[in-house]
């Protein structure tokens, strides 16, 4: 189980790193901050470039926390919050990633929840520093709720912006721009 938790943490962190740097730097075939900011604005996240920075930094901090196994419930909460926002924004395309759906952010968030419940395992900085996250269910619930609560702020702002667009958009136009 120790190796499995280490692999889960490191692989998820690597994917989150790639996901963040696609947005922030245009690495791994990503669009970079300006182009991703335009997409964020279409989705109702304003100002787009700033929201890309917030999302990318949250993903990087969550990835670093999970990779190192340091303050794991906090890292999990960061990932849950960021991925909840991403999943809601992409859910208009359905679930599966091949259609631009929310499958990827759902999976990343779900994996972070699993780590919040299990803890990082013995091969982690949390273990080396004597930080114990037991009982795991309490920390898992707390990390999940904190992430969901944090996602409420950008999602509420997005909902307001999309409502405003609907009232001013010409008939038949999609206010989310998707």
Q: Give domain limits for the chain.
A: 2-166
**Integer Cα distance of 70 and 23 in angstroms:** 24
Please check the confidence at residue 60 and state whether its pLDDT lies above 70: yes
Q: What is the pTM of this model?
A: 0.91
Cβ–Cβ < 8 Å for 66, 13: yes
Cβ–Cβ < 8 Å for 112, 66: yes
What is the tens place of the pLDDT at every residue in 5-46? 999 999 999 999 999 999 999 999 999 999 999 999 999 999
What is the tens place of the pLDDT at every residue in 80-138? 999 999 999 999 999 999 999 999 999 999 999 999 999 999 999 999 999 988 777 99
What are the C-alpha distances in Å from 65 to residues 23, 28, 40, 43, 124? Answer: 19, 22, 25, 28, 10
Annotate 110-149 with DSSP letters as a single string: HHHHHHHHH-S-SSSHHHHTT----SHHHHHHHHHHHHHH
């Amino acid at each position: 189980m120790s190796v499995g938790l280490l692999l889960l943490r490191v692989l998820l962190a690597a994917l989150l790193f790639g996901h963040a740097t696609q947005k922030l730097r245009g690495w791994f075939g990503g669009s970079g901050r300006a182009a991703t900011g335009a997409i964020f604005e279409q989705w109702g996240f304003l100002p787009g470039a700033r929201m890309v920075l917030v999302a990318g930094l949250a993903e990087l901090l969550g990835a670093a926390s999970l990779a190192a196994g340091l303050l794991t419930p906090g890292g999990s909460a960061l990932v849950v919050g960021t991925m909840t926002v991403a999943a809601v924004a992409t859910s208009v395309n359905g679930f599966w990633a091949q259609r631009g759906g929310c499958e990827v952010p759902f999976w990343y968030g779900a994996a972070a929840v699993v780590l919040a419940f299990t803890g990082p395992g013995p091969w982690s900085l949390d273990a080396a520093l004597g930080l114990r996250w037991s009982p795991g269910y309490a920390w898992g619930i707390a990390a999940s709720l904190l992430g969901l609560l944090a996602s409420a702020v950008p999602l509420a702002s997005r909902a307001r912006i999309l409502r405003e667009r609907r009232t001013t958009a010409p008939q038949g136009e999609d206010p989310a721009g998707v």
